[in-house]
A and B are shown apart, each in its own frame.
Chain A
Amino acid sequence: MEDNLRHMWDVVDNPAKWLVGWKEVNKRRIIGCAPMFVPEEIVHAAGALPVVLWEGSEPITLAHNRIQLFFCGIARGIVDLVLKRELDFLDGIIIPDICLPMRYLPGVMQFNSAFPFQFVAYLPHDSRRPSAKPFLVEELGRLRSKLAEFMGVEISDDSLRRSIQVYNGHRALLRRLYELRRKNPGVLKAGEMMAVVASGMVMPKEGHSRLLAELLPELEARKPAMLEGPRLILSANLCEWPKQDILDLIEDLGGVVVDDEMYVGRRYFTTDADSASPIEGLADAYLNMAIPNPIAMDPTNRWGDYLLKMARDNQAQGVISLTVKYCEPHGLFYPDLAGKLSQAGIPHLMLEIEHEVVSWGQFKTRIQAFLETLRRKK
């Protein structure tokens, strides 16, 4: 188990280095998929390795000659990694048009990178409309054609079905891990869970699934730890890997993370695709996400309902919302999530996360105070 976790940490500590090594051995192409929701199965079926792009852990420098500071860390981080030539190993990049920075990132990529394959995938924002699915099916078909042309292969329906099954299998294993954590919150630290999911976004799914399949029985055999601290749900942290240090801080101060609906978390693996008619299945999986899509229309506050239900189902005493600074899908929704939790009497805390975290002292004080409040309420 330790070896498997160590392997995952190696990937997470330096994903670019790991991928360069992987490419040298496997001699296969790698396509970067900017977060969120790019249907990686299509890339997998083409024979390339799809990797969900990350923010980078170094201070952002060169990117600020190309993109202003008041954009989210993931947009600036990806530009910075490109300009520092740390993503040169990528053979291509797919960017989903889901929000403002992602809509305009392709332009910067076009003028500042030389990826042989660049594709923008427009993902609709209102799944209720009759026009949404036919468009998305056509859009995913376009990705399939362009990728097939680039890779010099045919992407058959059968190959797509196989890829969907691989991904569904991977998702099932991650769901099993998360169910295990719900029953036994101490089974892995929140930072370790993040490393498991994030490494799964970088590694080939087959290999990661093998590591998970070995890891799970050992974790399932562990006796539940008696953690007495306030039970917590972590929300959102859209697109980006949650900061390890913040996750550690929450737990070091006594918080017990029991579940999450973060992107590098449940959102990545909760919804399976139906492989019968594969492109349609992928379109349906996007349009009907099990966890309400934060970039799509949600006029009845299904996100709030979901978060509330998650808190209640887990007997959580509080919710910590991790808001990526400048993230508009979360920032413009957050007051309504907070309102829903407040009405239900569930305490919540919002932490604004920046790429370079400079306010550790504040975070510590605020989290401490929040947890004290929860302990007193108990």
Chain B
Amino acid sequence: MAERLVRRLETTKLMKGLSDGLWSDVRHAREQGKKVCWTFGPVPFEPLRAMDIPFQHLESYGARVAARQAHGELKEVAHACGYSRDMCSYARITHGRRILEQRGEIHRMNPDVVYPTPDFVAAIYSCPTQILVADNFARNYNVPAFIFELPFWSEQSEMETVRKYFRRQMDEFILFLEEMTGRPFDYDRMRQLMVNTKKAAELRWECIQLCKAIPSPMTVFDQFISLGPIHGLRGTPQSVDYYEKLLAEVKDRVAKKIGAVPEEKYRLYWDNLAIWFKVGALSEKLASLKANIVISSYSHHPWRYPEMVNPDEPIQSIVDQFVAVWASWTLAHSMDEITKLVEEYSLDGLLMHSSHTCRPHDIGQFDIMDVVGRRTGVPGLMIDADPTDPDFYSDAQVNSRLEAFMETLAARKKRMGS
């Protein structure tokens, strides 16, 4: 086997164990007398932790299944039952699993992808599809569903309306969890969780900022792998521990000018979700082209305002973060953000992952390339793929596009005299 080019961060190797631990909590929930929630989208997780409710996250499940090569069969089961191949691949994978389970055939599957059915589901409209998937699961499992509405805002007055609405919904969510568990909401535990959330967010943000260094100590793939603690493990001491270790390792690299990619020549932006089944392969391919994707919207945004977190006001802190991050993510806002990233992270180009079945961030990508390109001069490349469905991925196409794009960047650098 060829030696890896990318210098992998030691800390990222901890993610498997942490992830397995999270899934183990879900697997053993019932025998511990706990309720299980399935979540769709970046639902506020801390209230679930505060009430000791293990949760299975749809997107993480899809990635986990894909990593174990079990997604093909699950998708085919869903297709045979009438779910179009063009629908969200996370949804098709999870529907396939539900259908096998309800037929009593789940024993055929890799045990690693078998988890308890939900007692209830929760979703957030940051991706409109997730609401529909949650509704479908509520219908088919005959369980309660809670969804968070999430209007976008552009002006200050709209932001206040959205903030008020989201606060009201958080209060409804608390009541919902009390109803689901038959217990009063544990605000003390919630406050403790938010101490960890704040700390983890601060540490992670510092790691992300350090990728401005040339060469960057991380690849975006390291950033994607390292999202786990700020998503599924958010609020836990383990998430703080992870980011402390990550920050120490990243700082050390920066001090010694060690880049994740040897001979980093081209610094790139990645738009949209990861292509989860190609994380390793793409990072190696890009490294072979002396390119490093140093930042992404997907890794840049989550909990990027730790200063807004006040553990003494845990519910309002979540409201403020969601309103500032998820509810502001309009196209205009994206363009301004990416324009800043080009300068802050010294970027040479934009890679736009046009995702076939995971589509929230697809519309507007052409305009982003145009507008950000005009503002900053950096060119963009669209890559047709999907986060978890290899049916919509072609190695030959992607590799040849990347190679051609690097030639463009090389020519541009030559013209600019660098």
Q: List 25 A-B contacts (CB under 8 A).
A: A71-B363, A100-B129, A104-B362, A104-B363, A106-B331, A107-B364, A110-B331, A110-B332, A120-B151, A124-B149, A126-B147, A130-B172, A131-B172, A135-B161, A139-B151, A299-B135, A325-B84, A325-B86, A328-B132, A331-B84, A332-B83, A332-B91, A332-B136, A338-B82, A352-B84
A125 near B138 with CB under 8 A, answer no
Q: Using Cβ atoms and an 8 Å threshold, which residues of chain A touch B131?
A: 125, 297
Query: Is B356 an interface residue when CB atoms closer than 8 A count as contact?
Result: yes
B82 near A334 with CB under 8 A, answer yes
State the Cβ distance, A324 to closest chain B Cβ, in Å.
11
Q: Which residues of B contact A (CB under 8 A)?
A: 81-84, 86-88, 91, 125, 127-129, 131-133, 135-136, 138-140, 142, 144-145, 147, 149, 151-152, 158, 161, 165, 168-169, 172, 330-332, 354, 356-357, 359-360, 362-367, 371
* Assembled-state Cα–Cα distance A197/B258 (Å): 67
- A332-B129 contact in complex given A129-B172, A135-B165, A338-B82, C-beta closer than 8 Å: yes
Q: Using Cβ atoms and an 8 Å threshold, which residues of chain A touch B158?
A: 142
Q: Using Cβ atoms and an 8 Å threshold, which residues of chain A touch B127?
A: 100
Q: How large is the interface on A (under 10, 10 to 19, 20 to 34, 35 or more residues)?
A: 35 or more
B87 near A66 with CB under 8 A, answer no
Query: Is A274 an interface residue when CB atoms closer than 8 A count as contact?
Result: no
B147 near A100 with CB under 8 A, answer no
* Assembled-state Cα–Cα distance A90/B329 (Å): 27
Q: Which residues of A contact B (CB under 8 A)?
A: 65-68, 70-71, 75, 97-101, 103-108, 110-112, 120, 122, 124-126, 129-132, 134-135, 138-139, 142, 295, 297-301, 323, 325-326, 328-329, 331-336, 338, 350, 352
* Cβ 8 A contact of B366, one of A66, A106, A323: A66
B331 near A104 with CB under 8 A, answer yes
Q: Which residue of B lies closest to A126 (CB)?
A: B147
- A67-B81 contact in complex given A131-B169, A298-B139, A299-B138, C-beta closer than 8 Å: no
B151 near A122 with CB under 8 A, answer yes
Seed contacts A299-B145, A329-B132; 17 additional CB < 8 Å A-B pairs: A66-B367, A67-B366, A75-B363, A101-B359, A103-B152, A107-B331, A122-B152, A135-B165, A297-B147, A298-B139, A323-B84, A325-B84, A332-B132, A333-B132, A335-B82, A335-B83, A352-B84
* Assembled-state Cα–Cα distance A122/B166 (Å): 13
* Assembled-state Cα–Cα distance A323/B86 (Å): 12
* Assembled-state Cα–Cα distance A68/B367 (Å): 12
* Assembled-state Cα–Cα distance A131/B167 (Å): 10
A103 near B128 with CB under 8 A, answer yes
Q: Using Cβ atoms and an 8 Å threshold, which residues of chain B touch A124?
A: 149
B363 near A101 with CB under 8 A, answer yes
The 9 closest A-B pairs by CB, nearest first: A107-B331, A104-B363, A122-B151, A299-B138, A335-B82, A100-B128, A131-B168, A332-B132, A111-B367
* Cβ 8 A contact of A120, one of B152, B359, B360, B367: B152
* Assembled-state Cα–Cα distance A254/B310 (Å): 68
Most chain A beta-carbon contacts within 10 A, residue among B87, B91, B145, B151: B151
* Assembled-state Cα–Cα distance A105/B331 (Å): 9
B86 near A70 with CB under 8 A, answer yes
* Assembled-state Cα–Cα distance A110/B48 (Å): 38
B161 near A112 with CB under 8 A, answer no
* Assembled-state Cα–Cα distance A103/B152 (Å): 9
* Assembled-state Cα–Cα distance A35/B354 (Å): 25
